[in-house]
Amino acid sequence: MSDITPHNARNGDFLAWPFFDEAHRRLGAELDAWCTRELKVDHHADTDATCVSLVRQLGRAGWLKYCVSASHGGALDQLDSRALCVLRETLARHDGLADFAFAMQGLGSGAITLAGSEVLKQRYLPRVASGEAIAAFALSEPNAGSDVAAMACSATRDGDDYVLNGEKTWISNGGIADFYCVFVRTGEAPGARGISAFVVDADTPGLTIAERIDVSAPHPLARLKFENCRVPASARLGEAGQGFKVAMMTLDIFRASVAAAALGFARRALDEGLARAKSREMFGQTLADFQITQAALGEMATSVDAAALLTYRAAWQRDVQGQRTTREAAMAKMFATESAQQVIDRALQMFGGAGVVSGAIVERLYREIRSLRIYEGATEVQKLIIARELLKDG
């Protein structure tokens, strides 16, 4: 295993870039030191129990406070994209499951932060920040993944309540969440304009876990079923028919952080590849002495820096310039995830057979990066978003 201390030449000096202020630099260094000291994830243990434990651990240490605003138990007055990215990159560089646990607290509660009533914010957000309540974001359906406007899960108004019927799938934290931010069709208008969002507690009658889903990089994932699931109208997030807008605003905030997680995976893979290249002896020299290895390392390092520049540009534009960053976040997410896949693949190749042994760091990274190219908008969807924004500006 390579050295992953925070301020070596590869991993620390990016925090000196002008995208950051001193608080971000301290945050990155402090989290890195905490991860090195405290983060001991057993990937062979029960995944559900491990994720619950990680949420509690991150909450006790104060890191989850960056997922909500200060007025509701958070660390900052408002969500800070650069802080979220620094935190996710650092966690991902140490362990992907820890990054997942952190990220879902933010994504799962983001719609409440953006559109919830004060009552809902006070009920849920402090518990998210402390790690006492586990959050989930329920948007995708069996026939409505990338095409969110095609969702069929519905909610019908019945007096002071709404009654939900239908299914959601590929829901991260499904099965362990204490509450779900659920997006359903309420029919105020056709397509995306007829969607509303609700907070649904996990123990609400009519909500069941229909299926647990196992994937290559294990994390809690499930299909949810709603059968005459009754929730009060006061659980609605924002106005009726505004759910799609709330969902897109939430994803816009956290999309750059997905790029940051991919960046953390790529940095770790580069570190592992460098360590392997310098230590692996073959044909009377080290792997690093071969020009073909040097060329691969050069391309890997360049990809990492390019991804970092795109990622932190998007976060900086949102935080400092107050710009809408749909295009920039899509570029960062697309490039960082795709390039991380290539960096990790090359690092694994340097390990030869040892790289595909179950449990090896590069083998785990290889499995963990794959889903990032799909969730929160697949690469192909990011390309469409970028093109749409270009055409709109033109």
Catalytic site positions = 376
How many C-alpha atoms does 289 have within 13 Å on its Cβ side? 8
Query: Which H, E and C letters describe the chain, residue by residue?
Result: CCCCCCCCCCCCHHHHCCCCCHHHHHHHHHHHHHHHHHCCCCCCCCHHHHHHHHHHHHHHHCHHHHHCEHHHCCCECCCCHHHHHHHHHHHHHHCHHHHHHHHHHHHHHHHHHHHCCHHHHHHHHHHHHHCCCCEEEECCECCECCCHHHCCCEEEEECCEEEEEEEEEEEECCCCCCEEEEEEECCCCCHHHHEEEEEEECCCCCEEEEEECCCCCCCCEEEEEEEEEEEEHHHEECCCCCHHHHHHHHHHHHHHHHHHHHHHHHHHHHHHHHHHHHHCEECCEEHHHCHHHHHHHHHHHHHHHHHHHHHHHHHHHHHCCCCCCHHHHHHHHHHHHHHHHHHHHHHHHHHHHHHHCCCCHHHHHHHHHHHHCCCCCCHHHHHHHHHHHHHHHC
Tokens 């990790």 locate to: 344
